[in-house]
Structure 1
Amino acid sequence: MVYDAFLLLAISAGYGAVLLTLRAITAGIDEAAAVYSSLLLKCAILSGWYVVLSAYYVICWRKQGQTLGMKAWRLRLQQPDGALATPTQCWKRCLAAPLSLSFLGIGYLWCLLPPVNQCLHDRYTGTEVIVLPKTN
């Protein structure tokens, strides 16, 4: 969703600024902008970035079941009984959602199949996305 993309871009910029600052402090200002050559370090940086972006979703889903984009579309993530998703469910969802997308989006297309109409990562985590009624 576009609304979430803007927030994720800002969070990514903040993450990059923190990394650049830490690099300047530890390696010196001249080396701060140098490209990382270590594959292990690159993987650690990308993993950290993914965790930071996932934390945005987990915090939003735990707080009220919605991200900014979900609010705009009146969508809510919840358990089948109506309770907010647990932290474990939220983190599992963050790990499983890219897998749903990676196989030509089949995990997302799964939600078009009745009777459950849930994406594969929703089924895996025991959550559901519902459409909230309109309010005047």
Structure 2
Amino acid sequence: MSEPSAVPERPSALLPRRLAALFYDLWPALALWMLLSALFTLGFTVAGHGARENIAPFSALQWLLWLSCWVIAGLYATISWRRGGQTLGMRPWQLYLRGETGAPLRWSTLWLRYLGGTVSLLCGGLGFWWALVDRQKLTLHDRLSGTRLVRIPRGD
């Protein structure tokens, strides 16, 4: 079996493009969260709770809903990255996810990237701001997962 060929170097995605793509990706994720919450609420109502009864704060059900929203957003991101290297939000900004070697990205790598990005966002975007001081303009979750977000100019 031959070694994967080196991928031609492309410009790294600049932080404003990354953040714009992340903002664009908020909308499909929000739609998925609404759908999941509606199904969750329907199941909660069918289980015998009143239609206007709230879930107790910090209950197991509330944590299950949060975890389910995180997983469904992760499925959206990882499936998009695996299928074409882009989410819907990355397309208008000409961003593409690739591995350092150019080999196809593994599921474990994609989920590691998603987890790192989540932790980064929960820490006030610290992992994203890292790209401002990194020589290669990589975020911490790029470094953690061995991936790189690159900009592909139109026409390539």
Q: Same fold (TM over 0.5)?
A: yes
Specify which structure has the higher proportion of helix: 1
Query: Which stretch of structure 1 is more off in the superposition, 80-89 or 13-22?
Result: 80-89
Among 121, 133, 139, the residue aligned to 1:101? 121
Query: Which stretch of structure 1 is more off in the superposition, 49-58 or 78-87?
Result: 78-87
Among 19, 22, 42, the residue aligned to 2:62? 42
Query: Which stretch of structure 1 is more off in the superposition, 46-55 or 93-102?
Result: 93-102
Residues 1-136 of structure 1 correspond to what in structure 2 (within 5 A)?
1-27=22-48, 31-37=50-56, 39-135=59-155
CA contact (8 A) 2:37 2:65 kept: no
Judged with a 3 Å threshold, the aligned counterparts in structure 2 of structure 1 residues 68 and 18 are, in CA distance, closer, same or farther, namely same
User: TM (normalized to structure 1)?
Assistant: 0.87
**Would you say how many aligned residue pairs link Structure 1 and Structure 2?**
134
Residue 114 of structure 1: how far off its partner (Å): 4.1
Judged with a 3 Å threshold, the aligned counterparts in structure 2 of structure 1 residues 2 and 96 are, in CA distance, closer, same or farther, namely closer
Judged with a 3 Å threshold, the aligned counterparts in structure 2 of structure 1 residues 21 and 114 are, in CA distance, closer, same or farther, namely closer
Residue 112 of structure 1: how far off its partner (Å): 2.2
User: TM (normalized to structure 2)?
Assistant: 0.77
For CA contacts below 8 A with separation 6 or more, give which structure has more relative contact order.
2
- Point out where structure 2 has 5 or more consecutive residues left out of the alignment: 1-21
CA contact (8 A) 1:64 1:84 kept: no
Judged with a 3 Å threshold, the aligned counterparts in structure 2 of structure 1 residues 103 and 25 are, in CA distance, closer, same or farther, namely closer
Judged with a 3 Å threshold, the aligned counterparts in structure 2 of structure 1 residues 124 and 2 are, in CA distance, closer, same or farther, namely closer
Q: Kindly provide the amino acid, as one letter, of the partner of residue 35 in structure 1.
A: N
CA contact (8 A) 1:61 1:77 kept: yes
Equivalent pairs: percent with the same residue? Answer: 29
Cα deviations by residue, 1:86-111 (Å, 9 ceiling, x for unpaired): 11111111111122233343211211
